[in-house]
Amino acid sequence: MQAGRLRYLLGAAFYQLAWTEWGPADGAPGDIPVVCVHGLTRNGRDFDALAQALAAQGRRVLCPDLPGRGLSDWLPDPAMYAPPVYVGALAHLLARLDGPVDWVGTSLGGICGMMVAAATGHPIRRLVLNDVGPLVPQAAIARIQAYLAETPRFADLAAVEAHLRQVHAPFGQLTDAQWGHLAHHSARAAPEGGLMLHFDPALAVPIRARPPEPVDLSALWELVSVPVLAIRGAESDLLLPETLAAMAARPGVRVAEIPAVGHAPALMDASQVALVAGFLD
């Protein structure tokens, strides 16, 4: 594993995008890189288990931290925290790779993947949408707004882990080691002492600025023509069963439902890793 950084231009300033990279720099012969993009308040280290497994197969895997998350720079204006900005930053990483990629996107990362795959001349060969689709229901938006309402501070890493176990319980039955891994990479030192979550609290501002309403991405989805694996947590409130069924009716779309999981499957379990790796093989 190694760390990577690049500078991207946004408005009148440059910012740094950070990522974690696994596997050989050029990948195995015939393989193409895999780009894994995380959810709203998460970071690229969520994909460590998947990235290690793919790297063991000879794949090169890059797991970026979206702007305002993890080790990537925070942005000066909350209004800048929006999918088009994230895709613009990620486009610099794609330009550096300068060739085809496979894309694994959880929630927001899947929305970014759809945006890239809908663009003319895009580099995506295969697309994994982890618990996200062309319609995000109002109830899911309301839930997201609710957990973004607070910016908690924690006395120690154990308190961070306890918080994550509660807020992200829908991830499923993770092991103690997996929860500990998420906590370790989800915490940063708070200026006033103690710990805070490893994202800019300002990213909640544009999300909470309006009443919760459903998000219709069907026009974007209609432009996606690459092979897709759509994964749904069986108890998810964000990707509903009827939305998954409609996605499955499209040629080239494979679907899978993960039992006893909500939003979103953590892609840490061996069976979930094998599911994604098999699709990308």
pLDDT digits (tens), the chain, 281 positions: 999 999 999 999 999 999 999 998 877 777 899 999 999 999 999 999 999 999 999 999 999 999 999 999 999 999 999 999 999 999 999 999 999 999 999 999 999 999 999 999 999 999 999 999 999 999 999 999 998 988 899 999 999 999 999 999 999 999 999 999 999 999 999 998 999 999 999 999 999 999 999 999 999 999 999 999 999 999 999 999 999 999 999 999 999 999 999 999 999 999 999 999 999 98
48 located within any domain: yes
3-state secondary structure of 17: strand
**215-216 and 34-37 beta bridge pairing:** unpaired
pTM here? 0.96
> Of the candidates 242, 231, 230, 233, which has an alpha carbon nearest to the alpha carbon of residue 263?
233
pLDDT of residue 186: 97
* Burial call 223-242: b when 16+ CB within 10 Å, e when fewer: ebebbbbbbbbeebbbbbee
35 located within any domain: yes
pLDDT of residue 223: 98
- Taking the CA atoms of residue 120, residue 54, residue 258 and residue 125 in that order, the dihedral angle to the nearest 10 degrees is 20
166 located within any domain: no
20 located within any domain: yes
82 located within any domain: yes
Look at phi and psi of residue 118 and say left if phi exceeds 0, alpha if psi is from -120 to 50, else beta.
alpha
β partners of residue 261: none
Q: Which domain holds residue 51?
A: 2-135+213-280
185 located within any domain: no
Q: What is the CATH number of the domain that holds 98?
A: 3.40.50.1820
147 located within any domain: no
CA 249, CA 54: separation in Å to the nearest integer?
Answer: 29
Q: How many domains would you assign to the chain?
A: 1
CA 152, CA 170: separation in Å to the nearest integer?
Answer: 20
